[in-house]
Amino acid sequence: MTDPLTDSLRWAIAIGAEPERSTADWLAIELSPGTPDAVAAICDPGPDAEADLERLRLLKRGFKTLRLGGEDSIDRRLAARYYAATLAAGLVRHGVWISRQRTDRIVEALQGLAEDESIDGRLRAVASTAIAIASERAIEGDATDEPSD
């Protein structure tokens, strides 16, 4: 049977009880097809390590764009948290920062994420794990040719 819902209608239905998360969720669904929302896109590893790392980099760039140009402060604030969460996931799963920002600035953002009770517990947990890893050893920076972000 063919699914009668168009993607746009499916997205409108997906807003559900948390419309403040819809912009970030839609972005994540576009950048990581097959994931139900931004939290899953960030927290659920892909089966191939290199593809997973590239997906996290793509999500990071998407959340950075939303963080800088979101329609309102709610979108920008949530995008900043999700951006930090992608950095945490890169460290936890792949042992690298997927950013060229200074480590102290990344850790500061992760601490804010870990303490923010309005954010999904899975994201707070990955942030806490990344903070613990960063406190134990020096972390390799991203080896891509992307500008500082």
**pLDDT at residue 29 is higher than 70:** yes
Q: Cα 55 from chain centroid?
A: 10
* Mean confidence (pLDDT) of the chain: 85
pLDDT tens for each residue of 33-91 = 988 999 999 999 989 999 999 999 999 999 999 989 877 888 899 999 999 999 999 99
Confidence bin at 23 (pLDDT 50/70/90): confident
Listed range (6-15, 53-62, 91-100, 118-127) with the worst mean pLDDT: 6-15
Q: Whole-angstrom Cα distance, residue 4 to residue 108?
A: 46
pTM of the model: 0.82
Rounded mean pLDDT, 119-130:
97
**pLDDT at residue 104 is higher than 90:** yes
**Which own/partner contact pairs does 53-57 have at CB distance under 8 Å and 24+ positions apart?**
53/90, 53/93, 53/94, 53/96, 53/98, 55/31, 56/86, 56/89, 56/90, 56/93, 56/94, 56/98, 57/86, 57/90, 57/98, 57/142, 57/144, 57/146
pLDDT score, position 82: 97
Domain spans of the chain, in order of start: 17-136
pLDDT score, position 69: 84
pLDDT score, position 83: 97
**Residue 31: which residues within 8 A CB-CB, separation 6 or more?**
41, 55, 58, 59, 62
pLDDT score, position 145: 46
